[in-house]
Structure 1
Amino acid sequence: MILNEEQQMLADLAERLFADKASVDTLRAIRGGSHGGDYDNALWQAMIESGLTGILVPEAHGGMDFGLVSAGLVARETGRRLALTPFLSTAVLGATAIGRAGDAEQQQQWLGPIAEGRLIVALAVDETGKHRPERIASQAKADGNAYTISGDKTLVVDGANAGLFVVSAMHDGKPRLFAVEAADAGVNVEAVAAVDTRSMANVRFFNAKAQLLDANDNALDDVLNAGRAILAMELVGLSRAVFDRTLTYLSERKQFGLPIGAFQALQHRAAHLSVEIEISEAMAFQALAAFDADTVDAPQQILAAKARAADTARLASAEGVQMHGGMGMTDEFDIGFFMKRARAASELLGDANFCTERFARTRGY
């Protein structure tokens, strides 16, 4: 992917910002309960000040409208640093949902606060332990000119901090998207612990007042595809970080008077991993660009990129832990955190098996 000047400037900005503000030590503090929150608020504030929260929001609503390729550059740094922020839930999924499905009044109401970092949005889609967005038991009922929603949603990213939920529910026999204010009396949120420390929640809606997001019948697919493409790039960033850390360890750890990186068996494994990462990054960039261009095969490219990036991240984290030897299994080394994030991010919005099966369907198999 050859970046244009604007994208290269954004990539440089994101790299500097995350290098300065993001740290695995913060993840440790959040996991241990000493941070005072379940995401990195200092990093999130820096992202707000840099305009990154409005990266997909139109300029008319205070955003930058830079497209998904640019959002992917930020996601790559998120993966490299294991950053915990509401970027995926709000700046990507939330902004895409409101921007593509909301009417003019709804966009005016919520896109500005998203760009300004005043509103955290959570996408509530899944109702089981696995990502199956088409299995919707939640029901929406018309209530005069408004709607009410009842149903349970599981593993809602940033649900514990959200001010607004974008919820999938059945209405008149069709799956639709609705917006529900978190402060509504019919919303009950239960925070849950994720294996990678990412903020999640189970959310119950009982006659919660809702607004129909009605402008686009394909909005749910658009939102999920945007999220999958961004997660693919986050997984690529994670894989690169593991690879870089492992190369450093191979050059420093010595056996028989030589750096272990001098042994051919480990060189072959590192070379193989390097190639896999390059391929995954190329596929992720292509998927992001396809989404921006709204090409016919964009959903296929996104599914392929997410599946490939998930497999590569699992390989990278496993190789990283193994090549660190026994130390790689201890909490003293950060490498184990990358393995946990690789597993969790791979599952989010569809694991490699889910994406491969959906890809096959779209190709007529």
Structure 2
Amino acid sequence: MAVLNEEQTMLRDMARDWARKESPVKAYRKVRDAAEAIGFDPQAFAKMAEMGWTGVIIPEVHGGSDFGYLSLGLVLEECARTLTASPLNASSLAATSALLLGGSDDQKAAWLPGMASGETIAALAVDEGPRHAPDQIKARAEQAGDGWILSGEKCFVAEGDAANLLIVAAQYEGGVGLFLVPADASGITVATRKLIDFRSHAAITLDQVALPANARLESGDEALLDAVLDRARAGVAAEMLGLAVQSFEDTLDYLKTRSQFGEILSRFQALQHRMANLFTEIELMRSVVEGAMEAIDAGRDDVPTRVSLAKATACQTLNLVSRELIQLHGGIGMTDEHSSGFYLKRARILEAQYGNGAFHRERFARLNDY
């Protein structure tokens, strides 16, 4: 497990307190029932920005706090425990990472201050089909005079409905690059896609979108895309950890209060064994997720391996915990009035995002020459 410093402990506790008091599960239910395209409450996100969470990994010179990825992961975990809907992961981690890793000084100065303040919401647009396949990008950027012409389609862009800025992966003569595309640029069509978690997963069409010469991130190649995706994957794994922890705690509380055949359910040895197994699996999940975040902060060479290990473990563990959440709650776990279904549905979306368990097990094996 990660050893947290004083700032990280305070940040985690602040996030936990705020999420429980200001953004409980009923707040998510309200967002779900409103059925707005953006899939989150702008006022809640504004409060998150006021607390500095949108600038956790952004350098101080651009308005952030530069606390690192582990610190932001702690916030994402605590927010996920109450199903807080926000663009924090998509914008403040995934898209921000693209600018931090590949942006020029001018690009960073132009966009990072707004992202740190929460005024600019950015979305990373990579996948073009139903499965995560960053090696099969067909969107194309052609040089035209002093600029670029960008065309293609992107599927399931997280927070794409609310984004002011799109960071689009596209083929160009030098390989695969990441391009900064204002969401209101001519030629862009955003179609809302509501999945089972009732969040924003927009489909975006780019039809001859004209961009300036400085639209491509300075370090534009496959290595940059992989590095950005690894940070996005680690952020998703942190969210999944929060879902798993809360699902376990809700189930444990239920077993301690629900009576069956004249006995409290937690006294049945078979159920004790199942809960003990879930506890150990979650502890293992925490170690690999926090290990991936620490590796990113330390700039280690094994970041890809650690991230794929974390995402694969997170997929397996959360799938198990979310299924047990439903089953051990019995009939009430199947109802919309109970929150169990929300956790199950969000879990299935995050399992697929940026590569499912099978994708990352195969990637882990290839990275280790198995």
TM-score between the two structures when normalised by the length of structure 2: 0.96
User: CA, structure 1 residues 318+199, in 2 after alignment: closer, same or farther (shift >3 Å)?
Assistant: same
Q: Deviations over 1:169-192 (max 9, x none)?
A: 000151111111111111110011
Helix, strand or coil for the counterpart of 2:99? helix
2:175 is matched by which residue type in structure 1? K
Give the structure 1 partner of residue 357 of structure 2.
352
Contact 1:29 1:35 in 2 (8 A): no
Query: How far 1:157 sits from its partner (Å)?
Result: 0.5
Aligned counterpart, 1:67: 68
2:310 is the alignment partner of 1:310: no
Tell me which amino acid in the other structure corresponds to 2:352: E
One-letter amino acid of the structure 2 residue matched with residue 214 of structure 1:
E
Paired AA for residue 128 in structure 2: E
Report SS of the residue matched to 2:203: strand
Aligned partner of 2:114 in structure 1 is 113
Name the SS of the counterpart of 2:64 in structure 1. coil
Q: Deviations over 1:320-356 (max 9, x none)?
A: 1110112111112101111111111111001111111
> Is 1:243 the counterpart of 2:244 in the alignment?
no
**Counterpart for residue 239 of structure 2:** 234
Q: Distance in 1 between matches of 2:26 and 2:43?
A: 13
Q: Counterpart in 2 of 1:203?
A: 204
User: What SS is found at the alignment partner of 2:137?
Assistant: coil
Shift, 1:34, TM fit: 6.2
Displacement, 1:27? Answer: 2.1
Q: What's the % identity of the aligned pairs?
A: 39
Greater alpha carbon shift after TM alignment, 214-223 vs 282-291 = 214-223
1:327 to 318, 329, 332: 332
Match of 1:186 in 2: 187
Q: Note if 1:215 corresponds to 2:219.
A: yes
Secondary structure at the aligned position of 1:192 is classed as coil
Q: State the Cα deviation string for residues 146-186 of structure 1 (Å, max 9, x = none).
A: 11110000000011111110000000151111111111111
By how many angstroms is 1:81 displaced? 1.0
Structure 2 distance, partners of 1:79, 1:33, is 20
Residues 253 and 346 of structure 1, relative CA distance in 2, 3 Å threshold? same
Consecutive unaligned residues of structure 2, counting only runs of 5 or more, are none
Per-residue displacement from partner, 1:236-283 (whole Å, max 9, x unpaired)?
Answer: 110010011001110111012211111011000000000000000011
> Contact 1:101–1:214 at 8 Å: present in 2 too?
yes
Aligned match of 1:5: 6
In the alignment, residue 358 of structure 1 is paired with which amino acid? R
CA shift for structure 1 position 216: 5.3
Please tell me whether the aligned partners of residues 27 and 197 of structure 1 are also in contact (alpha carbons under 8 angstroms): no
What is aligned with 1:261? Answer: 266
Tell me the distance in 2 between the aligned counterparts of 1:233 and 1:70. Answer: 11
1:287 aligns with 2:300: no
Task: State the alpha-carbon separation in 2 of the partners of residues 127 and 229 from structure 1.
Answer: 21
Instruction: Supply the RMSD in Å over aligned alpha carbons.
Output: 1.3
Q: Tell me if the contact between 1:187 and 1:204 (Cα under 8 Å) persists in the aligned partners.
A: yes
Q: Is the 8 A contact 1:40 1:83 kept in 2?
A: no
- Name the CA distance, whole Å, in 1 between partners of 2:134 and 2:297: 23
Counterpart of 1:300? Answer: 305
CA deviations 1:30-89 (Å, max 9, x no partner) are 222267952022321111110100111110000011111001001111221111100011
Q: Is the 8 A contact 1:156 1:200 kept in 2?
A: yes
Say whether the 8 Å CA contact 2:70–2:293 is kept in structure 1: yes
Q: Do the aligned partners of 2:24 and 2:82 also contact (CA within 8 Å) in 1?
A: yes
Kindly indicate whether the alpha-carbon contact (under 8 Å) linking 1:100 and 1:216 is maintained by their aligned counterparts in 2: no
Amino acid at match of 2:190: V
The residue type paired with residue 148 of structure 2 is Y
Partner of 2:198: helix, strand, or coil? coil
Does the C-alpha gap of structure 1 residues 25 and 37 become closer, same or farther in structure 2, counting only changes over 3 Å?
farther
Paired residue total? 365
Which whole-Å CA distance do the structure 2 matches of 1:173 and 1:188 have between them? 26
Conserved in 1, the CA contact under 8 Å of 2:161 and 2:202? yes
* Preserved contact between residue 93 and residue 226 of structure 1 (Cα < 8 Å): yes
Please name the residue that 1:156 is paired with: 157
